[in-house]
Chains A and B, each alone.
Chain A
């Protein structure tokens, strides 16, 4: 195999693109800078909490090719899924509207998932940049998730929707500015079909301002370097990403790699939903085939076309993580999807809760690519976006009757690799949204955020462990509609190379004590104050994902309720799934295990049982001799093929008294480090 088949010399670059290497690199960065400026503009000037805090948006520059198609040259992500979808959406929208029908200062808006959108809540805007002869040369686009797009459910995530007619406003490609003047009819349509018109107006203005900023930057490049050089450099930037991806594929052994993954359910039935993929790598290309995937579900957890693009996030993470994304990196991949399946559902299918399938696709594709390229393998991530949509009508003095809404984001975790623990507090590689500021959220919404932490023992075990499960507790001060976006409650993330599986999502209602306290320590709380909402529990109400039963004694039989009513004064606690471990836990350095125990990430019990590390439970010191003999014994007992138990907390306190005892004991442990 030629290690450098895709290497280009400076002469090659000049010959292929008509631009010298230095200028090509300069302008490649110039496009990225243009999107950085767009990112800063949108972030700071938008209104919806999901945009300004959550960063659920993407901003891009595209090249117009001679045949009228476009290629995405640069993006600044915010939410990473747009780095994969906007390449195609831009083509779909402009192909339909007609590039020739768009003049200077015209902007097209579209939110249709059947025309390249992801769900109706994302507004996508497109603006064409013409050259001196009036020929379309570049396109700037932005995509952002506005809080509300109308429809029966505030916030747009209508998991229970059976068709797209229950998911809010659908907008086919339509003018929203004409020669830089707002098209009033389009603004009316938007503002009169949302619960939050002021936010909508602000967000649309911010999206338009962002496109103008992007156009200014691209025009400055054209003025400085000339149109042909800038276009040649755009082709270079696309080609560079393509060459990197192809080179990485070439370094991956040819072969067929396959796996499958399950969504918990669609919120309407309790049946798991299978997604199956086979990736066939041949030389510097790959075919991704979703044949064998389940037929489309009734609830809105499936998608129309998006996975054809979003599937590439797996190869990106495993093969070429350190380079910026653009359309060129997608060229080596062909995707096959069976019509009428979860990944190619047919109209009028609902798709508003597309999120968790996206996270599952990212996990599945990362897993399959890890088979193909074991040196860069990554254990499973939590496979969920780890968030909750909250909305309703405020009842606080002075705010009575005001609609409110937002996203409460706790995040999940990534899996471990051959060289590192997985990160905690992180979304799927397909999203990367940001959590909100609690002190602002509590002003803006009738909510109290009581907790945002991690759950002890809940990381896939291994020489390198996965990231931990996140937990989040919030109290509604006015009746609220809650739509959890947290799959992975039935099927755990897997470990790799002897590492262990991760914990799964679950949720509960929580009661405060008489003083008004929400007891919580290491993510644990007294079970007598907890009412199971969804997830796996044993007969006594203990969250138990090893021996318990899913739905046992729970208020709900799905992890995907739509607009669950959390009454004023009620508290909900949600736990996201965590990440899988990598490698034999007995090889994790004992000092590192001790560190995790001392910092309340791991219990003394789990340290002994899984890691073979003996730690004095009161002094929290390492017993080296006992550890050596325990590890020797466990290694002999376990043998080949051993898999650590699914990650789970070892010490749920049942009563408040037990909880207090646990907390007091932890307080008593004197220091064991040099200070």
Chain B
């Protein structure tokens, strides 16, 4: 079987990509997301791509079931059992306020205090206490535990999370509580610190709570989907995209559904990894995915996406599991262009949404959005939008822009260019946080632009960052689904070590890593990954002794010797110097935890096969579909060419200012930039 399918459910659309491994042919489908049951849209997309689901050899899938449940607070009715005295961990948010708009605002309240997932009534305290060294300060009161569980039972909870202080290293009480939960609430969905057995009670409580809260709806969704697939004749494995960029088989997702909270933005980064590896000689990439309401940003270093443990659902609702590092900012096509009382301009984070949408949609929107700016600038042509399926109202866009431009005594088109520029700078600043702030030089990167509006801003953002090349993949609009097809199995297991590197020594590190590697292996084998295809990678979280923020760094393997230690130490100092501007050679390195990551086989990335014959670079005129004035980069450029991407051939060159129309996306080649069509329908733009 050679057909692979990736289906990515997004907020508005469900994108699907089918790859035929024999012919290399790639086809895609886009259907509306079915919010009430995402499996309907998923099946509809599948049926567009294949006649008989039985032909599908690999089915890779991502959804937003868990994310939606968490954001809208419609997850399972969940009870939490915590160490007595720590019922308010989810509400205290470590006390601080974020230093953005809310810092001085007296009406601001912390999101979980304002809109709890687990309301305080259902957070119950268990008398027990472990010391950090494992000494039992207070024995678990089993009778009280039962009473609390009986209470939760009467409250009708569907899920129970257990997270006790210091259980990451000393889980005896927590394990016993879990047994009692099974006795009192045998049907409940249960999660414990086991899912993330690392120090930091605030973060761990939320990993447990988010899993308990979103687990049941995700599990129910998977059951519905599998039933539909089975009825349709599908008989292969369903593999689910996790936030760490790896796949898990559907049955194994049930152990930790929170890992699949969000998938689309992560899948885009996998596509980017593939492009970096297969087409761009391992070039480092910054990734810019712009949709309607947000920009999702990522970084690929040496062919791999960066990982983080700092993902947050909302402020002070962290999910500290390992995830691919995707940062979302509120800058997209729907971002509102606004003005304050003394004349300061602002773009986003407020969004026009899909109803009424930007003014140019003609659905009654009167406040200007970024898409209106694109229209005013001429980047979007009313007749070309969505392949002509939807006509845009340029006059409405100009009128909306006028409401902001007029008080400033600006021309609406001038304002549009200004808003475009501010959006570029905002996006560039967020990307700088992922590059410059981490000690990477953006000039050593290319910028990969995708999503509906990513290629509109790609060249301009690259220039802000000092990046000299932009890459636009084929299918920029459905790139996430494409990345999903390219994914592979991934599991990660971690163990708290909480000791200095020298104190641990090579043997203790090896033992911890081997324990976790064995769990990886066992997990992958259970998921059907053949033994011979399993690859293990190792990492540790380290900091200087006495610090509080650890850093994930690679370890060479499971067979460390004491001779390796000095090299690991030196690598740490070098990393630290690059990232934070100093090294502290006299201070021991503290290893808070080690991780083993198990991978399945990396499937070869199939790049799109397109437009077989090569152009000779001269006949690019054949692809021109119209000429219009573009107002961009502070000037007006009459008679700028609009090209139909499908008519471009490998080797063609397009000089900016120009637009390349991709039917479902618009690629802006800014003045002074040159786009070349290279193999596989990819555009490389010299900015």
CB within 8 Å of B: which residues of A?
A: 3-4, 6-13, 21-22, 25-26, 29-30, 33, 36-37, 39-41, 43-47, 49, 52-53, 55, 76-78, 80, 198-199, 201-202, 205-206, 208-210, 212-213, 216-217, 240, 243-244, 247, 313, 316-318, 320-323, 325, 366, 378, 409-411, 414-415, 417, 419-427, 429, 432-440, 442-444, 448-454, 470, 473, 515-518, 520-521, 598-601, 664, 667, 670-671, 675
Asked if A25 and B422 make an inter-chain contact with CB atoms under 8 angstroms apart, the answer reads yes
25 intermolecular pairs with C-beta atoms under 8 Å apart: A6-B342, A7-B342, A9-B409, A25-B345, A36-B433, A44-B579, A45-B580, A53-B548, A199-B546, A208-B581, A240-B344, A244-B340, A244-B342, A411-B92, A420-B107, A424-B92, A425-B92, A434-B94, A434-B96, A440-B200, A443-B132, A443-B498, A520-B85, A667-B150, A675-B156
Contact between A452 and B92, CB atoms less than 8 A apart:
yes
B549:A675 contact, CB within 8 angstroms: no
CB <8 Å contact, A208 and B582: yes
Give the contacts of B36-90 with A (CB-CB under 8 A): 77, 84-89
Given A40-B433, A423-B113, A599-B119, are A240 and B342 also a contact pair (CB < 8 Å)?
Answer: yes
Across the A-B interface, the 3 shortest Cβ-Cβ residue pairs = A209-B581, A451-B85, A675-B156
Q: Is the CB of B581 within 8 A of A210?
A: yes
Interface pair B408/A451, CB less than 8 Å apart:
no
The answer to whether residues A21 and B88 also contact, given A7-B343, A442-B166 and a CB cut-off of 8 A, is no
Residues of chain B touching chain A, judged by Cβ–Cβ distance below 8 Å, are 77, 84-89, 91-97, 99, 101-110, 113, 119-121, 125, 127, 129, 131-132, 137-139, 141, 147-148, 150-151, 154-156, 165-166, 168, 199-202, 340-345, 407-410, 414, 417-418, 421-422, 425-426, 429, 432-433, 436-437, 498, 544, 546-549, 551, 576, 579-582, 584, 587
Q: Assuming A433-B96, A435-B92, is B87 touching A453 (CB within 8 A)? A: yes
Residue of A with least CB distance to B155: A671
- Whether B127 pairs with A517 at a CB distance below 8 angstroms is yes
Q: Is the CB of B155 within 8 A of A7?
A: no
Q: Which residue of B lies closest to A48 (CB)?
A: B546
Beyond contacts A6-B341, A516-B129, A667-B151: 12 other A-B pairs, Cβ-Cβ < 8 A, are A9-B409, A45-B581, A47-B546, A202-B546, A210-B581, A417-B106, A425-B91, A438-B201, A439-B168, A442-B131, A443-B199, A448-B137
Contact A417 B95 (CB under 8 A): no
A210 vs B579: C-alpha distance when bound (angstroms): 11
A213-B581 in contact given A7-B341, A55-B96, A454-B88 (Cβ < 8 Å): yes
Q: Of A4, A7, A424, which is within 8 A of B91 by CB?
A: A424
B77, B151, B417: which contacts A675 (Cβ < 8 A)? B77
B108 partner, pick from A244, A423, A433, A664, beta carbons under 8 A: A423
Q: Which residues of B contact A52 (CB under 8 A)?
A: 547-549
Q: Which chain A residues lie closer than 8 Å to B151 at the CB level?
A: 667
Complex formed: what's the CA distance from A39 to B127 in Å?
Answer: 39
Instruction: Tell me the nearest residue of chain A to B496, going by C-beta.
Output: A439
User: How close is A503's CB to chain B, nearest CB, in angstroms?
Assistant: 17
B581 touches A202 (CB 8 A): no
Specify which chain B residues have a CB less than 8 angstroms from the CB of A6 in the assembled complex: 341-342
Q: Looking across the interface, which residue of chain A has its beta carbon closest to that of B122?
A: A599
Which B residue sits closest to A4, measured CB to CB? B341
Which residue in chain B gives the minimum CB-CB distance to A38? B437
* Distance of A421 Cα from B544 Cα, bound (Å): 41
| Secondary structure dominating the interface of A | mixed
Contacts of B119 in A (CB 8 A): 599
**A47–B544 CB distance below 8 A:** yes
Chain B interface, DSSP helix/strand/loop, else mixed: loop
Contacts of B89 in A (CB 8 A): 452
B548 near A49 (CB under 8 angstroms)?
Answer: yes
A30 to B432, CA, bound (A): 11
> Hey, which chain B residues are within 8 Å of A451, CB to CB?
84-86
A438 touches B582 (CB 8 A): no
User: With a CB–CB cut-off of 8 A, which chain B residues contact A671?
Assistant: 154-156
Given the known interface contacts A43-B549, A53-B548, A202-B546, the answer about A9 and B407 at a Cβ–Cβ threshold of 8 Å is yes
> How far apart are the CA atoms of A4 and B101 in the complex, in Å?
22
- Let me know if A433 and B95 touch, CB within 8 A: yes
Nearest opposing residue in chain A for B166, CB measure: A439
Q: Which residue of B lies closest to A412 (CB)?
A: B95
B201:A437 contact, CB within 8 angstroms:
yes
Q: Do residues A206 and B580 form an inter-chain contact, with CB atoms below 8 A?
A: yes
Chain A neighbourhood of B582, CB < 8 A: 45, 205-206, 208-209
Determine the chain A residues whose CB is within 8 A of the CB of B341 once the complex forms: 3-4, 6-7, 244, 247
The distance in angstroms between the C-alpha atoms of A4 and B339, with both chains bound, is 12
Instruction: List, in ascending order, chain B residues with CB within 8 A of A78's CB.
Output: 99
| B544 CB contacts on chain A under 8 angstroms | 47, 202
Task: Report A-chain residues with C-beta under 8 Å of the C-beta of B120.
Answer: 599-601
B572 to chain A, nearest CB (A): 13
Contact status B91-A40, CB under 8 Å: no
CB within 8 A of A33: which of B156, B432, B549?
B432
